[in-house]
Structure formats: structure tokens, C-alpha cells
A = this chain, B = another copy of it.
């Protein structure tokens, strides 16, 4: 019944849009012409802690920290609930050097996953993790260095070897798009803390009654810990987790050697009882292109080689313990040219379709 209402509403909206006299977008695929029907949208802060300075606050010396508090280490969350929303919301957690901007408009200005999945009827919750973006207030000091490192990111994220893109790259190759991409990088405002992030995301799951967690890159690690802390995580979709893989004590592999300047890739040992919590729901992990099977003298390719390898060992371990984890290396499915930001590239609708199909297959939509 609800689905039928949604279809009727969509038809009416499409009708109204066309009678509104708006011209169709000239560039096919650049913009979705249908109207978004939103029931509710907003933002809030979740989790965090309170730092208190000993002493007594004196209103006549308001700049003295004595007796004052600082609320910090929370996450910031913006949310949108479409008309007739599907049961499971999507909760998006960005990676290193990013904010929720990761999931919004693509570098070339098309709709990102947040709006694409909103259009597909999912409520969306976009996180700025604690000590990042709009959740900038930290309980610990931090020094931010304005270090030039764009070229490092370009290579680490497998767009190419600076200044050349890899052949067939799906990254939108205009100067404007690359500039937008560089500018969406944003620093830590306090030390990175995986457990802190997981605690805040778990608090979000409590608040919204659970959901499907979608992580990217460094967000993968806190993603697993969120599901260990909170049993309302219904699935984890992890795009290119780069670190923070967990294994049961006694089953943790040795660090994987690579020429990456980050050094060998280790894994984290956790109690078996915690690891088994990752077997309660389906997990899917996606990796893009330019990741070789054999050691490479391209540092970024070699870095991602061991990350993909570790992800496969992780998924095997989850499945060995009765779980349901899948690693998809996109080129093996004929989807080529994707960088580390696969969900924001030229074929992002194709990537969204893949995810939609998986959610449907798992009965999660």
C-alpha cells in the first residue's frame, strides 16, 4: 500500500515537474530531473564527552577556563527522510581526510550517493566523524600543518601517477573536478581515534533504531567496531577499507609487506566473541581498479594490493565463522577504471545500481 502511494506520488510529481515549464537538463545523466519528495531533514550532534576544568566558574573572569566545560568528541549527522521511506536507513561514514562531503555531489557536480539513494527511497544519515568537519570540537589539543600533499593524495587514491591519470580512469578528468576533489579534503581537529568514532556511530544506531552502515576507506575500521558495540547494524557496505581489519585472537595474520610509505599492513586481534558479532549480518566490500595481484613498483598500487589481500582474508575469516561476507573486485565483474573514490566517479550510478541489487538480494531494501 505504501509502495503504491509512493508510485502515485512519483507520477504526480513527474507530471507537476513537466507542467512547471522547466526545460529538461541538456546533458543526459548529469542531473536527475525527477523531484525529491522529502518528509523531514535536519542535523544533530551525537555521542561525545565532556571535559571539565577543576575550579569554579567566575562570571567576572569569563575567559578563565576554571570550572568551565567543553563538549567535544561528538559526531555531526545530517539526515533526510524521503516520503514513504524504506525500512532500513543508510548511514554513511567517510574516510581519512574527508567529511560527509564525500557522499554529496561528485567532484564534477553530479548527484552523489546521498541524493541517489534518497531518490531510491532510503533515509540517509551522513556523518562527520568526531574531530572532523562540523564535528570539529575535540577534547584534546591538535596542531594542523598546512603541508602540501595534493599529489600524494592523487596517487594514494589511484587516480594515476601525477600528473597523469591511469588509462581508462573513471575519475572525471577536468581541472574543475580535480580542484573540487582537492578542496573537499579537510583535516583532523584532534587525534584520530577509531574507538571514539565507533562509539559515536553506535550511539547514532541507538538513536535511529539501527541501519545499514556504508563506510569508505579508513571508515572501515570504526565500521567493524560499531557493529561490535551495537547489534542494530543490519549490514555493512565497505568501499575500499584501507586499514583497521579485525581478526579473532589466534587467527590474526602476520603484517603484509608492501613498498607503501605507510609500511607493512597489520591487522587487529580482538576476542572471538566480538569477532563473531560480525557474522550476524551481511557484509559486502568493494574495490576499484588498478590493484595488482603481484607486487608492484608503483607504491600506491602495491599499497592497495595488500589491502585487497587483507580484505579477502578478513571476509574468509568471517565466512569461516558462519558469516556472510563478500569481496567484490570490480574489474573482475568487468567494471574498470575506478579509483579509491569509486562511488563518486563517472560511473557512480552503475556503482549505486550494484549496491541496490545487493541490498535487494539480501532483503535489506
Contact = CB atoms under 8 A, between A and B. Distances in A.
B299 A137 contact: no
A5 interface: yes
Interface string A125-159: 00010001111111111111111111110011000
Given A35-B83, A42-B109, A142-B144, A63 B152 contact: yes
A300 B63 CA distance: 12
24 contacts: A1-B21, A6-B20, A9-B16, A13-B13, A13-B37, A20-B83, A35-B39, A36-B39, A37-B37, A42-B112, A43-B101, A45-B184, A48-B183, A62-B261, A65-B148, A68-B148, A68-B151, A71-B150, A71-B179, A71-B183, A133-B133, A136-B136, A138-B146, A187-B189
A65 B186 contact: no
Interface string A81-106: 00110000000000000011100110
A38 B38 contact: yes
A120 interface: no
A270 interface: no
- For chain A, the bracket of interface size reads 35 or more
A360 interface: no
A139 B140 CA distance: 22
Residue among A45, A71, A139, A148 with the most chain B CB within 10 A?
A148
A53 interface: yes
B69 A150 contact: yes
Nearest to A139: B146
Nearest to A297: B60
A162 B51 CA distance: 17
A52 interface: yes
Contacts of A100: 134
A76 interface: yes
Chain copies in the assembled complex: 2
Contacts of A364: none
Contacts of A71: 150, 179, 182-183, 185
A20 to B, nearest CB: 5
Interface of A: 1-2, 5-6, 8-9, 12-13, 16-17, 19-22, 31, 35-45, 48, 51-53, 57, 59-60, 62-63, 65, 67-72, 74, 76, 78, 83-84, 99-101, 104-105, 109, 111-112, 115, 128, 132-152, 155-156, 161-162, 179-180, 182-187, 189-190, 261, 299-300
Contacts of A152: 62-63, 68
A6 B20 CA distance: 8
B139 A128 contact: no
Contact of A20 (B2, B135, B141): B2
Contacts of A183: 45, 48, 71-72, 74, 135, 137
Contact of A16 (B8, B60, B67, B151): B8
Contacts of A35: 37-39, 83
Nearest to A39: B35
A263 B40 CA distance: 43
Contacts of A101: 43, 76, 134
Contacts of A149: 63, 65, 68, 70
A103 to B, nearest CB: 10
Given A2-B21, A35-B39, A42-B104, A52 B148 contact: yes
